[in-house]
Amino acid sequence: MSYRADPRLMSELKKYGAVNVESCFNCGNCTAVCPLSTEEDSFPRRMIRYAQIGMREKLLSSKELWLCYYCGECTATCPRQADPGEFMAAARRYAIAQYDRLGLARRLYTSAGFNALFLIVLTAALGVFLYSFHGPMATDALQLFQFMPSEVIHNLGVIAGILIAGTVLAGMINMIVRVGNEIKFVKGAPLNWLGAFWETIGEVLVKRRYRQDCEIDAIDQPWYYQKWFVHASILWGFLGLFTATALDYLLELLGIKPTGAWVPPWYPVRLLGTLAGILLMYGATVVIVRRLRQADEAAAHSTPSDWVFLALLWLGGMTGFALEVSIYLPQPGAWSYWMLLAHLVVVGELLVLLPFSKFAHAVYRIVALYVYALKPLPEQVAVAGTAE
């Protein structure tokens, strides 16, 4: 396959945060120190080279972009301060913007003003829309779903879910087609479809490579403060909250428990939601503090879209906890109803931004890891070669 060089690629990437990479002189030190780079899937130097010579399509079809966890080890040891770790992060933002056909990701990643305006308009639109369905605020007992009917929330969630899934799927297909064109699978070598699936699930859920191979922060750090655990906390928290919400809805459909019915704090679905919320809040808080303190190479650069995502995660968790506390107060006030409205607005914003935020990174990473895991083992390739 032939590629046309795009001389504007480097200046494009700068808009996404790769501001120092021009000083790279291709020594390869970053690839040598990267704990996740292998002989076959080699990065970040190769990706930087693609950018330097304008190989846009090669960059966009590189699954290696998504194998990097931004541990910052390459940045810490680069002799030219070219910040290869941040280059990889910027290239991922650029790739998401290219996969997104709506053009929204590009605006959100490259303009702080657009980010702010989009958020203000979205907050106002969601707030007014939801409030237009509001019922009375009962004062004798807390009746959250009398104030905001659960059918409205469910129906809105389903519509948003379909639109978001469609947007993410379109981006994923765009990525898979590009990556698929690049991968040279050996004819006849068996692909491990199921094994790759389990390997990917294991990697995503327990961060095996991140935990075992990226040791830059494992020294002097307790396990609960290491990056893999902090990232996993956010993911586990999000998945736990999603599961608790889905189970709550299922219980209503089965006639076991209506949405909003009072249950004790140890009721299984409530307990799952509480534990997941604690994990999410823990992860989001640690990441925010690290970024504020610019604690390491990976936390030194934060784009407006990073801050928006983290702030929404944190606010979503906080308003959720405040709501939970209000349920168990003997005398809840009108603030509980406003807290519900605020919580729904923040969750709605997170959902709308999902295809363009760090959640999108997670989705693309899963696809890349799956393709990576599909690769036949060398001995299988050898057998296939002999058979031919």
DSSP symbols for 324-368: HHHHT-SS--THHHHHHHHHHHHHHHHHHHGGGSHHHHHHHHHHH
- Choice between 26 and 174, CB closer to ligand SF4: 26
Footprint (CB under 6 A) of ligand SF4, residues 97-156: none
Minimum separation from the CB atom of position 74 to ligand SF4 (A): 3
Q: Contacting ligand SF4 (CB under 6 A), which of 45, 207, 290, 361?
A: 45
User: CA-CA distance, 155 to 367, in Å (whole number)?
Assistant: 29
Minimum separation from the CB atom of position 256 to ligand SF4 (A): 46
Is 28 among the residues that bind ligand SF4 (CB under 6 A)?
yes
Minimum separation from the CB atom of position 28 to ligand SF4 (A): 5
Is 352 among the residues that bind ligand SF4 (CB under 6 A)?
no
- Choice between 82 and 345, CB closer to ligand SF4: 82
| Residues ≥6 apart with Cβ < 8 Å to 266 | none
- Choice between 248 and 297, CB closer to ligand SF4: 297
* Binding range to ligand SF4, per CB under 6 A, among 5-13, 20-28, 288-296, 360-368: 20-28
Contact between 277 and 320 under an 8 Å Cβ cutoff? The reply is: yes
Minimum separation from the CB atom of position 191 to ligand SF4 (A): 26
| Residues ≥6 apart with Cβ < 8 Å to 233 | 279, 280, 282, 283, 286
Is 42 among the residues that bind ligand SF4 (CB under 6 A)?
no
Q: Pattern 48-87, binding to ligand SF4, x per CB under 6 A?
A: x-------------------xxxxxxx---xxx-x-xx--
User: CA-CA distance, 67 to 368, in Å (whole number)?
Assistant: 7
Buried b / exposed e over 75-98, threshold 16 CB at 10 Å, is beebebebbbbbbbbbbbbbbbbb
Footprint (CB under 6 A) of ligand SF4, residues 279-308: none
Alpha helix positions (H), the chain: 9-15, 29-33, 45-52, 56-60, 73-77, 84-99, 104-110, 112-131, 144-147, 150-182, 193-206, 208-213, 227-253, 268-293, 304-327, 335-353, 358-374, 378-387
Is 44 among the residues that bind ligand SF4 (CB under 6 A)?
yes
Minimum separation from the CB atom of position 350 to ligand SF4 (A): 26
Q: Contacting ligand SF4 (CB under 6 A), which of 18, 88, 284, 360?
A: 88
Token duo for residue 133:
């369905």
- Choice between 25 and 266, CB closer to ligand SF4: 25
Interface with ligand SF4 (CB under 6 A): 24-30, 34, 36-37, 43-45, 48, 68-74, 78-80, 82, 84-85, 88
